[in-house]
Amino acid sequence: MRYLKAGIIFLLTLLAFAGYTPQDVYNPQQVTRLALTLAMTEGKLDIDDYAALTVDLAEHEGHFYADKPPGLSLLAVPAVAPTRTLLGAPTGVLDREQFPIAMIAAVLSTVGLLAALATSALYLVCRRLGVPDAAALFATAGLALGTPFFGWSTAFFAHAATGSLLLLGLALTIWSRGRADGWIPPVLGVLLGYTLTMDLVAAPAVAVIGLYYVFGERERLPARLVGAGFGGVAELLPLLVYNQLVFGSPITLGYSQVVGFEGMKQGLFGLTLPDLVVMGEVLFGLHRGLLPLAPVLLLLPFGWWRMWQRPDLRPVTLVTIGVALSFLLVNASYFYWDGGSSTGPRHLIGMLPVLGLVLAFGWPSSREGRAGALAVLGASVLISAACASTYMFADVRFPAPLLDPILQVIVHEGAWVRMLNVIVPCAGFLLLVTLRERPSGAQRDELPARPLDPAL
């Protein structure tokens, strides 16, 4: 039954993401990534054809290139190539009617697909760790529909895809405990290695999960180290080859050739020392704060506490804390910490799928507590749907984007109609609660005997 539920969750979340895709098609960062995808379908790497539509550029030897790692763009090629053929434009520049269709294909085949897979995997790993079904469904719905992960899963940005691969890697690590299957280390290496090919900011989180896996069972350390290392290096090759072909060196990144954005020249590509004020802003502030957009995450401290109460889960607890701290510290160290045009702290989105596991343990035990948790989840879903319906790329000049412009557009311009797209996924999650797992034969044998009726 749990695998059936996981399949339904995958379909529900993919439907939810599809209902709000695409976001602002001509956002510069989306244009840059899709331009690279389109270039790859023609066997080239420069994005000169679309350079006038974006400011996120790297310039080298008279040509313009994407300043982002190529992983996400490369992942979209299998969907975008046939899409542009169907559009009648297998080569050349797409017009303003074709470009949005190619964007939809790119988003749903990469970010949306990975996010839906991660959401269903979250449900399964929660159940594997002994979380009650209701708590697992609560966490799954909370991640997919009640946090900014929702809106960023509808945009051609790497954040949600990165977080999805991290969660899939952690889920595989947890599932592999006690197993000696030889395919697990290289597959985990593939997941974590390609995460870096998409988003180098995730490197500390990748290291945390990788070390947890490699050293989790000392007797298998050599095999795990070699296998995971092989898979990881293999999936880093696209990044290294891309850098070599474009910039003449496998270790030269597009960020080093970026046009404008002088702050990128400070420290390591804009990373200096963490600022506690910035950390407070990305967690609690109205400008870019995470918690005002996802109040359901207020249950995380309770989840961590409950996880720590179980000695067998303490290593996993430390991993989730390490992943969260890695993203927080990087965001608080970044010159462009606010993410430019961004609804919420987009640089923190990558940690949310892993924190979904913690959220499951935050499910209250009392009836009153659960009622309160569901109310907070409902508010979070409404906020997330409002953001995804209006502005996922809120201009930096708005001091409190949720209040203005998002709620203003919802109330005064009728954008609430688009919010109705979330009804079907929400109804689907409610129906999943009613599906009860039937105990296996072994479990039925363990059930206490039913007392005899004295009237018989």
Chain segment 18-51, per-residue pLDDT in tens: 999 999 999 999 999 999 999 999 999 999 999 9
Assigned domain for 423 exists: yes
Assigned domain for 328 exists: yes
Q: Determine contact, residues 145/16, Cβ cutoff 8 Å.
A: yes
Residue with tokens 């294909």: 105
Model confidence at 442: pLDDT above 80: no
Q: Counting Cβ atoms within 10 Å, is residue 366 exposed (0-12), middle (13-18) or buried (19+)?
A: exposed
Q: What's the mean per-residue pLDDT of the chain?
A: 92
Assigned domain for 387 exists: yes
Average pLDDT of the segment spanning 346-358: 98
Assigned domain for 326 exists: yes
Q: How many domains are contained in the chain?
A: 1
pLDDT on residue 168: 98
* Nearest one of 210, 158, 200 to 30, comparing CA atoms: 158
Model confidence at 93: pLDDT above 90: yes
* Nearest one of 75, 101, 74 to 86, comparing CA atoms: 101
Model confidence at 286: pLDDT above 80: yes
pLDDT on residue 455: 32
Assigned domain for 225 exists: yes
Average pLDDT of the segment spanning 257-262: 77
Max CA separation in the chain (angstroms): 93
Q: Determine contact, residues 31/155, Cβ cutoff 8 Å.
A: no
Model confidence at 107: pLDDT above 60: yes
pLDDT on residue 98: 96
Q: For the chain, what percent of residues have pLDDT higher than 70?
A: 96
HEC string of 221-248? HHHHHHHHHHHHHHHHHHHHHHHHHHHC
pLDDT on residue 438: 62
pLDDT on residue 404: 92
Dihedral sign for Cα atoms in the order 130, 134, 137, 143: negative
Q: How far is CA 27 from CA 92, 131, 279, in A?
A: 21, 40, 26
Assigned domain for 44 exists: no
Q: What length does the chain have? A: 456
Expressed as residue numbers, the domain containing 116 is 2-24+106-252+268-435
Q: How far is CA 399 from CA 23, 151, 289, 338, in A?
A: 21, 20, 11, 11
Model confidence at 336: pLDDT above 80: yes
Task: Output the CA torsion 315→320→326→329 (10° steps).
Answer: -120
Residue with tokens 């039913």: 450
Assigned domain for 263 exists: no
Assigned domain for 61 exists: no
pLDDT band at 430 (very low <50, low <70, confident <90, very high): very high
pLDDT band at 266 (very low <50, low <70, confident <90, very high): confident
- 225-256 pLDDT, tens digit per residue, is 899 999 999 999 999 999 999 999 998 888 77
